[in-house]
Structure 1
Amino acid sequence: MKSKHFYLFAASTTVTFGLIATPVLDAYGASSDATAPDRSVSKQELKAQKNADRKARHAKKNAELGQLEKNGYNPAGNQANYPQNLQKAQQKAAGQKPTNAPAAAP
């Protein structure tokens, strides 16, 4: 029984972070092309920039997850109503009134 809960938690966490990380990674891919390494930039400066970018992505992801948690989503909680719980938190975070409509089937 515990393994079932673990698998549900692992799957829901993966999906949640996938939803959060996709726009961030898309934005990072677009910005990394614009900041292609210049030969005049030292390795230390390049490494510092990569670290700063990584920290910024991490902070944004944590801020988005924190916002969802403030609006009622608990990634470690009961996942029986997983998609609906996440969607309600996203709607609340966007300032919309949550709907009670069931989630669309995949």
Structure 2
Amino acid sequence: MKFKQLSVFVVSAGMALSLLSLPTLQAHAATTDAGASDSAMSKQEMKAQKKADRKARRAKKNAELSKLEKNGYSPAGNQTNYPQNLQNAEQKANGQKPTNAPAVAP
């Protein structure tokens, strides 16, 4: 049962992260299209740019997760009240009062 809950959490977290990175990927695609006509960029430069983009996305994701954890969200905790726990942490991080009392993780 725990494995199923964990797998559901991982899938939903992956989907959320992919939705968050969608604008970045669209902007990257636009710059890549503009750079495709300019063949002056070498393969190594493109690889370095992709690596820098990955690092930036990872840093942003880690900062968001850290902010949520500081506001009471625990991804490794009890996930029976998963969406509400995450929403409460997001509201608290944005300076709002959580609508429901946060569920306590064991």
Which residue does 1:59 correspond to in 2?
59
CA distance in 1, matches of 2:73, 2:11: 15
CA distance in 1, matches of 2:47, 2:92: 38
Q: CA deviation at 1:13?
A: 2.9
Q: Size of the alignment, in residue pairs?
A: 98
CA distance in 2, matches of 1:54, 1:14: 20
- Structure 2: which amino acid aligns with 1:44? Q
Q: CA deviation at 1:31?
A: 3.1
Root-mean-square deviation (CA), in Å?
Answer: 1.7
CA distance in 2, matches of 1:75, 1:17: 13
Identical aligned pairs, as a percentage?
56
Q: Which runs of 5+ in 2 are unaligned?
A: 102-106
Q: Is 1:16 matched with 2:13?
A: yes
- What TM-score do the two structures reach when normalised by structure 1? 0.81
Q: Is 1:31 matched with 2:25?
A: no
- Structure 1: which amino acid aligns with 2:10? T
CA distance in 2, matches of 1:13, 1:72: 19
Q: Which has the higher contact order (CA 8 A, sep 6+)?
A: 1
Q: Deviations over 1:13-41 (max 9, x none)?
A: 32134223312232222233124333011
CA distance in 2, matches of 1:20, 1:69: 16
- Structure 2: which amino acid aligns with 1:55? K
Which residue does 2:69 correspond to in 1?
69
CA distance in 1, matches of 2:31, 2:90: 31
8 A Cα contact 1:67 1:93, kept in partner: yes
